Amino acid sequence: MNGSCNVHSLEKPKVNLKKLLVTFSHSLFWQISCFLLVVTAFAFGALFLVLQISEDSTGKGSAINVSGSLRMQSYVLALTVARSSEDTEVVRSKDIKAAIAEFERRLNLPGLTQAIPEESDNELRKSYDLISSDFYSKIKPMAIETIQQPQKIHEFLNTVPKFVSVIDTFVFDLEQDLESKSNFIHAGLIAFMLLAFVLYFGVRYFLRHTLFEPLEDLANLASSVRNGDFTKSSTYRKHNEIGTLSESMNFMIRDLSRMYSSLEEQVREKTADLNRQNKALNLLYGLKNVLGAELNRSVLEKALDFCSENLEALSCAVYLRNDGDKTLRLAARFSHHPIDPEEIRKFFEGQNVSFEKYNFFKKEVLGKDCTLVLVPGAVGTTRLSFAAIFCGEAPVHIDRELLRSIAREFALAINNSEKNVESRRLILFEERSTIARELHDSIAQSLSFSRIQITRLDAALKNKSDEAEVRSILDELKLGVITAYQQLRSVLTTFRLKPKSPDLRENILSSLDEFKERSGIDYSVENQIQSFELDAQSHVHLLHILREALTNVEKHSRASAVEVTFKPIGEYSFEMRVSDNGQGFDLKSKKGHYGLEIMHERAKVLGGELHVEPVIPHGTSVVLRFNSQKKAVS
C-alpha cells in the first residue's frame, strides 16, 4: 500500500507538468505572459540595483559636504580662539564653547555618520575615528584651556593645521569611494543596457514570428475578402489562439462565398428600387417648387414641361372636370410637342373611363404606338385628371402611386389658388362693409345733423327770426360741417393703411414711429413672442386696432408716453395692450366714440374681445385678446 501511494504521488506531478507544457505551447497568451514576466523581473532588478547604488551615492555626497564643513569649522574655531585673546574670560568662554559645540554637532550629523561603514577595518571608518579621537583628545581640551590660559593660544593654533590635514585626508577618501561607486553604476547600467538590447531583439523576434506575421497574413486575407475574392484561405495551422482564428476565418469565407452570389442580385434590385424612389421624390419636390408660385396658365405649362421631362413622356396635360360629369376641360398642356390635347381629350371622353381610378390605353399617336395614362386627382372642391402619353411602354420607374401624387399636387395647387382668390374677395367685401359702417356711423350722422340745421336755418329766415337765433343755427351748422370734414379725413387715413412688410412686428414698429413723429409722444415696445404670424385679414385688422388706439391717445389722453406690449396668454392666444399715462377715460361716456365701436367690431372679426381699462394712478389701457391660427412660441 505504501509503495502504491508513493508511485501515485510521483506520477501526478509528471502529468500536471505535461499539461502545463501543452497549455504553454498551445497558448500565445501564456507565452507572451512569460516573456513579459522575464522583462518585468529584469526591469525591477535593474531598478532596485540602481536605486540602491543611487541612495548610497547620495549619502556619500551628503557626507562629503558635511566633512568639508568640518574643515571650515576647524578654521572658525581657530579664528575664534585667536580673536578672544583680548576679550574678557566670560566672553572668551562663551565664543569658544559655541564654536566647539558647532564642530561637535557637525561631526555627529546623521548625513555623515550614516555614510561611514560600520566595519572597523574600513578606511573611511578609520579616518573618521581618527578625526573624532584627535578632536576629543587634543583640539577640544586645548581650546578649553585657552579660556583660562590665553598664553596657550599659539600652541593651539599650531595644532590646528595638522588636524585639518587629517580632515582633508578623510574628505579625499570619501570622494574616492563616491567615484568608485559611480564607476560601478556606469558599468552596471551599460551591462543592463546590453541585456535590454538582447531581450528587445529576442522578444521582437518571438512576437514577429508567432504573432504579427500570422496576423498580417490574416489581415491581407480579410482585405481580399472585402474586395470580393473568396478563393483564398489561411494556411496557418498551429494549435493556438491565432490558429483558432484562422480556422474560423476559413469557415466564414466559405459561408460568405455561398451568400455572395445571391446577395449581389438583391443589392442590384434594391439599388434600382432606391433610384426609382429617389427620382420620384426629386420629381415631386421640383413640381411642388414650380407650383409654389402664383398660379396661372404659364405656371401650369411650366409644371407640365417639368413632368414631361422627368417622366420621359411625349406630352402631359391637365383636364378639369365637375363632380358627376364626364366632360373634361383642358386647363394646361405640355407646350413643346405637336400632339393635339383636344384630340386626346375627345379620345378619353369616348372611352368608358372611370374618373376615380387609374386608366391606361394603347393608341397610335402621330404614327407611333403609345401608352396613354389618365390619373384622377381631387383636393377639396377641385376635381381634375392628369394625362401622360408615353412612346411604347411606360418607363419602369413610373408607377401608379407616383402619377397619383403628381395629379394630387396639381389639384392641391389649383385648390389653394382658388382659396386665395376667395380669401382676397372676402377681405375686399369685409373692408367695403367696414367703410360703409364707418361712413354711416360718423360722416352720415354729421351730415344728417347738418341737414337738420339747414332746415332750421331755412325756417328761421322765412320767419324772419332775430339775428342771434340765425347766428346760433349757423354756428351749429358750421360745427357739423367741420366735424364731418374731420371724420372724413380720419376715415381716409385709416383706409390708406397698407402694411409695409409681411412681418407684423416690423409694421407695428413702423406705425409707432409714425405716431411719435406725428404726436411727439414717446413709446416703448415689449415683445415676448418670437413667432407672430397671422393671415392677411387678421394682420390688417390688428394694425387698424393699434392705429385707432394710438389716435385716441394722441387726441384725447394728453399723455407723454405710451407703452405697447405683446405676449402669449395660451397656446394659440395673444394679448395686445396699449397703455398711456394721460388723463384717463370716462368708461361710462361712450357718446360719439365711433372709433371705439369699430375697434370692437374688428376684435370680433379676429375672434377676440377688446376692453378699455383705467391705469392706476392715471392713464388708460386698451386691451385686445384674440386667437391665432399659428401656435405661439415664447
What integer pLDDT is reported at residue 630 of this predicted model?
55
With cut-offs at 50, 70 and 90, classify the pLDDT of residue 524. very high
SS3 492: helix
Q: Are 246 and 216 in contact (CB under 8 A)?
A: no
Minimum mean pLDDT range among 252-256, 324-328, 573-577 = 324-328
| Spatial distance between the Cα atoms of 583 and 585, rounded to a whole number of angstroms | 7
Neighbours of 136 (CB within 10 A): 12
Q: Are 77 and 103 in contact (CB under 8 A)?
A: yes
Name the class of domain 500-634: alpha beta
Q: Cell 585673546 identifies what position? A: 85
**In the predicted structure, residue 621 carries a pLDDT above the cut 70:** yes
Q: Decide which of 250 and 86 is more confident.
A: 250
**In the predicted structure, residue 430 carries a pLDDT above the cut 80:** no
Handedness of CA 96, 101, 107, 112 (dihedral sign): negative
What integer pLDDT is reported at residue 609 of this predicted model?
92
Q: Decide which of 282 and 504 is more confident.
A: 282
Q: Where in the chain is the domain with CATH 3.30.565.10?
A: 500-634
What integer pLDDT is reported at residue 326 of this predicted model?
61
> How does 49-87 read in b/e, with b if 16+ C-beta sit within 10 Å?
beeebeebbebbebbbebbebbbebbeebbebbeebeee
**In the predicted structure, residue 178 carries a pLDDT above the cut 80:** no
Rounded to the nearest angstrom, the gap between the alpha carbon of residue 223 and the centroid of all alpha carbons in its chain is: 37
Strands 522-527 vs 382-391: parallel, antiparallel or unpaired: unpaired
**In the predicted structure, residue 71 carries a pLDDT above the cut 50:** yes
> How does 276-314 read in b/e, with b if 16+ C-beta sit within 10 Å?
beebbeebbeebeebbeeebeeebbbbbbbbbbebbebb
pLDDT digits (tens, 9 = 90+) for 329-382: 766 665 555 677 777 777 776 666 666 677 767 777 766 778 878 888 888 777
What integer pLDDT is reported at residue 498 of this predicted model?
59
With cut-offs at 50, 70 and 90, classify the pLDDT of residue 624. very high
What integer pLDDT is reported at residue 15 of this predicted model?
46
What integer pLDDT is reported at residue 395 of this predicted model?
62
Q: Where in the chain is the domain with CATH 1.20.120?
A: 28-202
Q: Are 70 and 102 in contact (CB under 8 A)?
A: no
Burial (CB count <10 Å: 0-12, 13-18, 19+), residue 562: buried
Q: Are 69 and 112 in contact (CB under 8 A)?
A: no
What integer pLDDT is reported at residue 8 of this predicted model?
45
With cut-offs at 50, 70 and 90, classify the pLDDT of residue 13. very low
Minimum mean pLDDT range among 196-205, 416-425, 556-565 = 416-425
pLDDT digits (tens, 9 = 90+) for 365-379: 766 778 878 888 888
Minimum mean pLDDT range among 86-90, 232-236, 327-331, 472-476 = 327-331
Fold topology of 278-415: Beta-Lactamase (3.30.450)
| Spatial distance between the Cα atoms of 608 and 613, rounded to a whole number of angstroms | 16
The dihedrals phi and psi of 535, each to the nearest 5 degrees, come to -70, 165
Strands 573-580 vs 620-627: parallel, antiparallel or unpaired: antiparallel
**In the predicted structure, residue 4 carries a pLDDT above the cut 80:** no
What integer pLDDT is reported at residue 5 of this predicted model?
47
Q: Where in the chain is the domain with CATH 3.30.450.40?
A: 278-415
> How does 588-606 read in b/e, with b if 16+ C-beta sit within 10 Å?
eeeeeebbbebbebbbebb
What integer pLDDT is reported at residue 521 of this predicted model?
92
What integer pLDDT is reported at residue 531 of this predicted model?
47
Give the whole-number percent of the chain exceeding pLDDT 70: 79
**In the predicted structure, residue 594 carries a pLDDT above the cut 70:** no
Burial (CB count <10 Å: 0-12, 13-18, 19+), residue 211: middle
What integer pLDDT is reported at residue 622 of this predicted model?
93
Is the backbone of residue 312 left (phi > 0), alpha (psi -120 to 50) or beta? left
What integer pLDDT is reported at residue 346 of this predicted model?
73
**In the predicted structure, residue 580 carries a pLDDT above the cut 90:** yes
With cut-offs at 50, 70 and 90, classify the pLDDT of residue 564. very high
Is the backbone of residue 619 left (phi > 0), alpha (psi -120 to 50) or beta? left
With cut-offs at 50, 70 and 90, classify the pLDDT of residue 489. low
**In the predicted structure, residue 590 carries a pLDDT above the cut 80:** no
Q: Which residue type does 461 have?
A: L
pTM of structure: 0.39
**In the predicted structure, residue 576 carries a pLDDT above the cut 80:** yes
Say if domain 28-202 classifies as CATH 1.20.120: yes
| Spatial distance between the Cα atoms of 38 and 54, rounded to a whole number of angstroms | 24
What integer pLDDT is reported at residue 422 of this predicted model?
75
pLDDT digits (tens, 9 = 90+) for 269-328: 888 888 888 888 888 888 888 888 777 778 888 888 888 888 877 778 888 877 666 666
